[in-house]
Amino acid sequence: MTQVTRLDPPAKQGPSEAEERIIIRGGKPLHGQVRVFGAKNAVLKMMAAALLAKGVTVLRNVPNLTDVHMMAEVLRHLGAKVEVGNDEVKIDATDLTEIEAPYELVSQLRASFVVLGPLLARCREAKVSLPGGCANGERRIDLHERGLELLGAEVGIDHGYVYASAKKLVGTRIYLDRPSNGATENIMLAAVLAEGQTIIENAAQDPEIVNLADCVNAMGGKITGAGTYQIVIDGVPLEEMHGAVVDTIPDRLEAGTFLYACMAAGGEVIIDGVNAHHIYAVISKIHEMGAECSIYAPDTIKIKSTGRLKPTDITTVPYPGFPTDLQAPLMAVLAVAEGTSIVTETIYENRFMQVGELRRMGADIQLKANSAIVKGVPKLMGAEVKSSDLRAAASLIIAGLGADGVTEVTGLSHLDRGYDRLEERLRALGADIWRR
């Protein structure tokens, strides 16, 4: 099997991966051009969708991430043949041998819970470990359960597993109490092979869901309305589904991370391969803070940041609002803005895991319920810090780029879940950053 070769410098030899760290000497402005890779949150869900068809599905523009390799292991466990390499994933799900996604796999990649819908549709039976909680908070499955039941499945939870079975699935109208990405995806994928038409109301509208629907349609499915509050799925027989070649959309969260990196460090950076339409909420806040951010073309953004930035308030809400995944990276920039900002988190109950570490660097941040009051200080100071989740890791690296002195970030297993060679790409822009 072909494996992607990492371009990072060799990790320091030691007794455990926990010793690996990223070291940043702050104060180096960023200059140059960087290209955004494919969206992790799109790739993982399209990999699950490949279970709906007999044949080979090829996903292109795939980043080399530990989450991608873990999802590949989940699919292999179910009987699919999976090859990862050369910016592609090839999945042949012609023969499935298992209906169970066990705890030891799902616990390592909670996004793998999305195999529940396509497994149920394809095999009429599925057993998937509960995703459980994580550093960001509990991952609820109530909407998943109710949606699948409305399609005709019997769904139960026992000993940490979700069991779903159905003699047949029949399309219906399903209203989601909240626009949950995971529930929208699982219900949509289950409905692809159901009899008749399914309508999901108050569906999540994220670009990754549009990419997922486009993938399914390329495989023979019939989905319309993705990207709106109402998604319509006309069921098709398994015999009409087939493999396809699908391009992954650019990662809007990675694009936001590079934008904030430039704001923290100062400088001028061109970001290629990004869909500017996907990050208008991010760009709007950048303008409010006083940085120059212009759209050259639908896939090119230029940012220029000089001097101290202005504060701004943000509230995380479902797309097209400000994304929860960019709350932590932006907080690192707000920590040195000239004034007070209020960051309100409405998606996850515990997504301020970066606050304690930012305080170690001199940030003045107070927590009150689901809000963080960020009083900007003139400069952050380099320190040893540890990331607790993916976006917190990005936040600490951004903070280190603009800080005085040396910052050492550990907990890199989180970073490698969602960013492909981030430190190498920042170094190409002029940052004094390396991994050892």
Neighbours of 271 (CB within 10 A): 25
d(CA 250, CA 43): 10
Q: Is 134 a catalytic residue?
A: yes
**What's the pLDDT tens digit per position in 277-320?**
999 999 999 999 999 999 988 899 999 999 999 999 999 999 99
Give the pLDDT of residue 131.
80
Which among 217, 167, 183 has a CA at the least distance from the CA of 53?
A: 217
User: What is the DSSP code string of 64-75?
Assistant: --HHHHHHHHHH
Helix (H, G, I), strand (E, B) or coil at 143: helix
Say which of 134, 215, 262, 293 is annotated catalytic.
134
Q: Are strands 56-60 and 292-297 parallel, antiparallel or unpaired?
A: unpaired
Domains present along the chain, CATH in parentheses: 17-37+250-435 (3.65.10.10), 40-247 (3.65.10.10)
Give the pLDDT of residue 139.
55
Which among 171, 94, 101 has a CA at the least distance from the CA of 130?
A: 101
Residues 6+ apart with CB under 8 A from 159: none
Q: Taking the CA atoms of the chain, what radius of gyration do you get in angstroms?
A: 22
Q: What tokens were used for 208?
A: 């990754």
Q: Could you identify the residue written with the tokens 């940030």?
A: 363
Helix (H, G, I), strand (E, B) or coil at 295: strand
**Cβ(296)–Cβ(273) below 8 Å:** no
Give the pLDDT of residue 351.
82
β-sheet with 314-315: strand ranges across: 314-315, 340-344, 371-375, 364-368
**What's the pLDDT tens digit per position in 330-385?**
999 999 999 999 999 999 877 899 999 999 999 999 999 999 999 999 999 999 99
d(CA 205, CA 202): 9
Neighbours of 344 (CB within 10 A): 16
Would you state the torsion angle of the CA atoms of residues 323, 325, 329, 333, taken in this order, to the nearest 10 degrees?
20
Give the pLDDT of residue 4.
32
Q: Could you identify the residue written with the tokens 């486009």?
A: 214
- Give the single-character DSSP code of 276: G
**Helix or strand holding residue 209 (H, E):** helix 207-218
- pTM attached to this predicted model: 0.93
Give the pLDDT of residue 378.
97
Helices (H) and strands (E) in the chain, counts: 14, 26
d(CA 344, CA 219): 40
Helix (H, G, I), strand (E, B) or coil at 42: helix
Residue numbers in the chain where pLDDT is lower than 50? 1-18, 133-134, 137
Give the pLDDT of residue 140.
77
Give the pLDDT of residue 288.
97
Which among 57, 38, 18, 425 has a CA at the least distance from the CA of 217?
A: 57
**Cβ(221)–Cβ(200) below 8 Å:** no
Neighbours of 16 (CB within 10 A): 6
d(CA 204, CA 227): 7
Q: What tokens were used for 74?
A: 């989940």
Q: Say which amino acid occupies 64.
A: N
